[in-house]
Structure 1
Amino acid sequence: MERSRLLQCLAADYMRLRDVAGTGLTAPVPSCPGWTVTDLVRHVGQVYLHKATVMQTGAWPVAWPPPATVTEDPIALLDRAYGAVTHEFSRRGDTDPALTWHAPDQTVKFWIRRMAQESVIHRLDGELALHIDSDPIPDDLAVDGIDEVLRLFVGYGSHAWHEDFTEALASAKGRTVRVQVSPRGPAWLIRTDPDGATVASATTPASADQSITPDASVTGDPAPLLRWLWARESTPTTDAHTPIQVEGDGEAIKEFRAMLVASTQ
């Protein structure tokens, strides 16, 4: 996605979270067990401030979060932090250097994308907490988010932080899951081996892939598929009535879900 579009989506989801949260800061967040909406908003504010600080200093903060952010009014913190991170973005080009956790991409654009995707997932959390119908997720943002969670969180993360995936990989046997944006959108093949996951683009439609027969598949429109991957369905505790089509080997799907949990929580 282009920089301007990512920043547009970031602004929209920051405002949506702000507006939703203001209706009930004490509500529990079902998709983030143990959190209230106050905790959710404070977390997003601290994340924004963290990225602003990293861009300013070129280093990971030694101690985080700053003590003041723990007691600051959460909405005020969110506003201040959003202003700080977008100010840092405005001072830098996409390819300007920035320290990130993804070794192949040490640029400002990485953080622009990451903050846009962070914001859409957490405004879903706010909507779920307060039982408010979700604003639509634009297709382009959802497809980009699907790619990010599969390639960076599952693929890269399972190798870079292998110790966090020990349980999820305990029974890995080289199973492959195909994730497909319907009806004829992009697709990914995720193969899980004991040393981690490998993620590759898949040719669409599925019948064109003659060399690989996946053990299972997960198919859906962009927004529902992004929500499924992040376990942010309308009813987070069940997959019943989901607009996602899950087919194939149940063990492959279970293993894939375990990889998602390990990489996103």
Structure 2
Amino acid sequence: MEPSAQRAAVDADFALLNALAGTGSQRRVPSCPDWTLDDLLRHVALVYLHKAAAMRAGALPTEWPPPLDHEATPALLERAHAELTAEFEARDPSETTPTWYDPDQTVGFWIRRMALETAVHRVDAEQAAGVPVTPVGDELALDGIDEVLDIMLAWGSVKYREFRDEDLPTVELRSGGRRWFVRPTTQGVLIDASGEAETVIEASPSDALLWLWRRAGDEVITVTGDPAHVATLRDLMKTATE
């Protein structure tokens, strides 16, 4: 997905998220039950401000967050989006900037990450507000499946996580005409575009993305094979996305 399309996705999902800023700020977020809707919106604002600060300074902030209790959530959220947008507009996606993902230290990484951060949290906000969930567009959702499997799960399993000491069954995910083979090993989780699997999961791109991020339940997927393998992948995704 091109950075220009990802930038447009940030703005589109932000508009939907921002529209919910005044609707029941103390409603609980189903996927993050310790958070209220107000907590969620402040989290998004802080994420935006953190990335904007990193791009401005050329370094990830070491003291975070700044004192922001004096600023009302709707105003904070709009200011944070404006600051993030300004930093993106001032830079080429290929420009170097610090990120937490070692293989990609570019502005483009943050553009993609913020597009998907905003999409997933926009869904959180819609669920908290009790309004219908707007599906994630196919192109962004497929890009998000790549990101969550390749970076959060596979790279994260090597960089940060400890997995079981035996190999686990390979699970195939099919969505939008694409296939991902998720193979847990003693060295970490491998993601391949081809292979063999006893168990296959199928879903629309939006449903598959939200299922992987644990924002949707098993009712949105179709399973062929062993449900226990699906539960294993679900557990791995919990570790990868926390």
- How far residue 88 of structure 1 moved from its aligned partner, in angstroms, is 0.5
Would you say the 8 A contact 2:181–2:196 is kept in 1? no
CA RMSD of aligned residues (A): 1.4
Matched, 1:191 2:174: no
Would you say the 8 A contact 2:211–2:220 is kept in 1? no
Give the whole-Å Cα distance in 1 for the aligned partners of 2:236 and 2:166: 10
Q: Deviations over 1:28-56 (max 9, x none)?
A: 10111210000000000000000001111
Matched, 1:173 2:164: no
Would you say the 8 A contact 2:60–2:99 is kept in 1? no
Give the whole-Å Cα distance in 2 for the aligned partners of 1:174 and 1:243: 24
Give the whole-Å Cα distance in 2 for the aligned partners of 1:175 and 1:10: 36
Would you say the 8 A contact 1:146–1:226 is kept in 2? yes
Aligned pair count?
242
Letter in 2 for 1:190: V
Would you say the 8 A contact 2:13–2:119 is kept in 1? yes
Matched, 1:246 2:239: no
Matched, 1:219 2:196: no
Structure 1 unaligned runs (5+)?
203-211
Structure 2 unaligned runs (5+)?
none
- How far residue 250 of structure 1 moved from its aligned partner, in angstroms, is 3.1
Would you say the 8 A contact 2:10–2:115 is kept in 1? yes
Partner secondary structure for residue 34 of structure 1: strand
User: TM-score when scaled to structure 2?
Assistant: 0.95
Matched, 1:79 2:78: yes
* 1:200 counterpart residue number: 192
User: TM-score when scaled to structure 1?
Assistant: 0.87
* 2:118 counterpart residue number: 119
Give the whole-Å Cα distance in 2 for the aligned partners of 1:130 and 1:226: 21
* 1:207 counterpart residue number: none
Give the whole-Å Cα distance in 2 for the aligned partners of 1:85 and 1:172: 43
Give the whole-Å Cα distance in 1 for the aligned partners of 2:167 and 2:230: 13
Q: Deviations over 1:157-210 (max 9, x none)?
A: 111112xxx3xx23642421111105xx111111101221011223xxxxxxxx
Give the whole-Å Cα distance in 2 for the aligned partners of 1:219 and 1:173: 23
Letter in 2 for 1:221: S
User: Relative to structure 2, which stretch is displaced further, 112-121 or 26-35?
Assistant: 26-35
- Deviating 4+ runs (over 6 angstroms): none
* 1:134 counterpart residue number: 133
Give the whole-Å Cα distance in 2 for the aligned partners of 1:247 and 1:172: 23
